[in-house]
Amino acid sequence: MLIVMNHNATAADVAAVSRIVQGMGFRAEPIPGSERTAIGVLGNHGYVEDCNILELSGVQRVIHVSKPYKLVSRDFHPENTIVDVAGVKVGQGCRPVVVGGPCAVESEEQIVKTALFVKQCGGDMLRGGAFKPRTGPHTFQGLREEGLKLLAIAGKASGLPIVTEIMSPDNVGLVAEYADLLQVGARNMQNFDLLRELGKIRKPILLKRGMSATVEEFLAAAEYILAEGNDQVILCERGIRTFETATRNTLDLSVVPLIKEMTHLPIMVDPSHATGKRSLVSPMAKAALVAGADGVLVEVHPEPEKALSDGPQSLTFPGFEQMMKEIDRLTIFLQNG
């Protein structure tokens, strides 16, 4: 529920309404705006009677929000959120960022070599999986803590912030020690205990859309993180599951401008997982930026044909370099638009 105050409501009015709301057992979150102040009511299960509230001084109207999210919506927070990842700014109005790296950390040589190359080509962050969610238990599950340590070495060598996946609430402390941006994978988008735990830390989160998540469910998942107090969340479209098998998933690029209308959070795109095909990564990365994405996440590997996972969708070094040149030109074009 959203309580919209009059243009000329006083701070005392706002405080009084907030006290009443708290007295009803809910949380009240004032949302000051340039034209009006609104008070978000959180913690209610279902409909809240509004007749008493409407009579309070300074109250203009009450909006019963049926949507499962509030803090992430533009209604509650009209200004764009800029997420700061160890100094790299992500969000509307910032230069779009490129996150590059292998699907999985495999060895020190592999990750350091890649990190240096990503940096050299102008990439902004290094990605690499240490904990890998795999369909079956009998395949490579990542180097785990050892992988985190190698990422730290590569991050230090290149100066790039580190992006890596977190799979379990138990590991939040461990991963947060090494990562500058903690990634929640598509399979865990509705792992609510994990989301709540990530809401309690003070590091930014990259939340990937679930394979069959609607836009509403995607934003509601982000709401779990914000509701615990962490508003440094970057969304990431990575393809949805459809009947089409010519690509690994179906990149739902239209949600980029749509989500920008609905939320103040930044959104990035992962064309590697979305398409599953190396040759489609660069065109879709550029299309994502033109559609308004705040950045892209791409897989790059020194020897994709020997990669332990996701080889066919990983760019080679020359492929990554070429894409970066084209993205550079495109970014300049877009910023002069």
Q: Name which of residues 58 to 117 contact a copy of itself (CB under 8 A).
A: 67-70
Q: Least distance in Å: CB of 147 to a copy of itself?
A: 14
Q: Least distance in Å: CB of 244 to a copy of itself?
A: 6
The pairing of strands 2-5 and 59-63 is antiparallel
Judged by CB under 8 A, the chain residues 186 through 215 that form the site for a copy of itself are 187-188, 190-193, 196, 211-212, 214-215
Q: Least distance in Å: CB of 283 to a copy of itself?
A: 4
Stretch that binds a copy of itself, among 50-58, 89-97, 108-116, 235-243 (CB under 8 A): 235-243
Judged by CB under 8 A, the residue of 255, 296, 315, 323 near a copy of itself is: 255
Judged by CB under 8 A, the chain residues 38 through 57 that form the site for a copy of itself are 42-46
Q: Is 305 a residue that touches a copy of itself (CB under 8 A)?
A: no
Q: Is 329 a residue that touches a copy of itself (CB under 8 A)?
A: yes
Q: Least distance in Å: CB of 205 to a copy of itself?
A: 15
The pairing of strands 97-101 and 37-42 is unpaired
Contact by Cβ (8 Å): 249, 240: yes
Q: Is 306 a residue that touches a copy of itself (CB under 8 A)?
A: no
Q: Is 148 a residue that touches a copy of itself (CB under 8 A)?
A: no
Neighbours of 140 (CB within 10 A): 11
Contact by Cβ (8 Å): 2, 39: yes
Among 11, 57, 223, 193, CA closest to 207: 223
**284: its two tokens:** 């879709």
In angstroms, the first-to-last Cα distance of the chain is 39
**198: its two tokens:** 């990530």
